[in-house]
Amino acid sequence: MDSNSDTICSEKTGYILSKNSYRLALSLVDYSSEGVDNILKATDVVESEIIDLLKENIEDCPICRTSEKAVRGWLKGALSDLLHNESARAKLNTCGLCRIHSDTFIQVVKSDSDIGALSAAIMLCDILRCQIQDIKELESAKKRKRRILSKAGDSCYLCKVSSDTEQRFVKAFAIFFNELDVRKAYENSNSIICVEHTRQMSTIETDSRRWFLSTQQNMLGALLDDMEILIKKHDYRNTEPIGRERASWVTAVRVIGERE
């Protein structure tokens, strides 16, 4: 890194950091230049994007939310322009769909009037045709062994879209929390970064790391207090009406993680 230049670039992390403001040159989906990926390619994660996510003020994790949005966007793009999206079809076809993203697939098709059963069926025919072939190959013990070996490390392509977006935003949030405006926007927002993304962000050394971990404990602690109030208000002797704590358990489901 050259401390005298206006721009600090790290190839390893993909960051381009200017002296006055941080800017992450991060593509939203992947670096492919083909097909549907062009739609989302080279979308930079900038400070205003992080602030906009926080301003949405939804009681969930903004990193989880943006990853789900990226998956829906990618899938919508792939299904809207099937004829020109050979590469997107091939990507989905290679590894099929996991349970989570098969539900996303149904939701995207049903919620968008531009995408009909025809697009869904064309896409799914490709995938199912390959998977029938996989079953046919199970007849041969030799091929079954090869198949199991080659399966290691494979996953649904939408999981990759999700985790790529997730990693970009984990880094972006960690870096932008060094800015006072972003810290204030987070403190004033109803959003809470989930436990899993808290863990991931804690592995990135930044000036704001200590502030972040303390803020997370306060925010998650306040959520715990709300749920305890909710429990107490269910006591038959209680006369106070249930207020904003009503939805605290829903927020808790959204931010809770797996224990390591």
**Beta-ladder partners of 22:** 17
Contact track, Zn ion, 13-52, x by CB under 5 A = ----------------------------------------
- Taking the C-alpha atoms of residue 205 and residue 186, their distance in angstroms, rounded to an integer, is 19
Say whether residue 98 binds Zn ion (CB under 5 A).
yes
Q: Which of 17, 53, 54, 63 binds Zn ion (CB under 5 A)?
A: 63
Say whether residue 194 binds Zn ion (CB under 5 A).
yes
Which residue lies nearer to Zn ion by CB, 22 or 169?
Answer: 169
Which residue lies nearer to Zn ion by CB, 159 or 230?
Answer: 159
Residues 82 and 185: beta-carbon distance below 8 Å: no
Q: Which of 17, 26, 108, 158 binds Zn ion (CB under 5 A)?
A: 158
Structure tokens at 64: 């989880």
- Taking the C-alpha atoms of residue 243 and residue 248, their distance in angstroms, rounded to an integer, is 10
Say whether residue 108 binds Zn ion (CB under 5 A).
no
Q: Quick one: 37 exposed, middle or buried, by C-beta within 10 A (0-12, 13-18, 19+)?
A: buried
Residues 213 and 222: beta-carbon distance below 8 Å: no
- Taking the C-alpha atoms of residue 216 and residue 209, their distance in angstroms, rounded to an integer, is 11
SS3 175: helix
Q: Cβ 105 to Zn ion, closest distance in Å? A: 10
Q: Which of 53, 64, 75, 78 binds Zn ion (CB under 5 A)?
A: 64
Which residue lies nearer to Zn ion by CB, 5 or 190?
Answer: 190
Q: Which of 159, 204, 227, 252 binds Zn ion (CB under 5 A)?
A: 159
- The closest of 259, 200, 256 to 60, measured between CA atoms, is 256
Residues that bind Zn ion (CB under 5 A): 61, 63-64, 98, 101, 156, 158-159, 194, 197
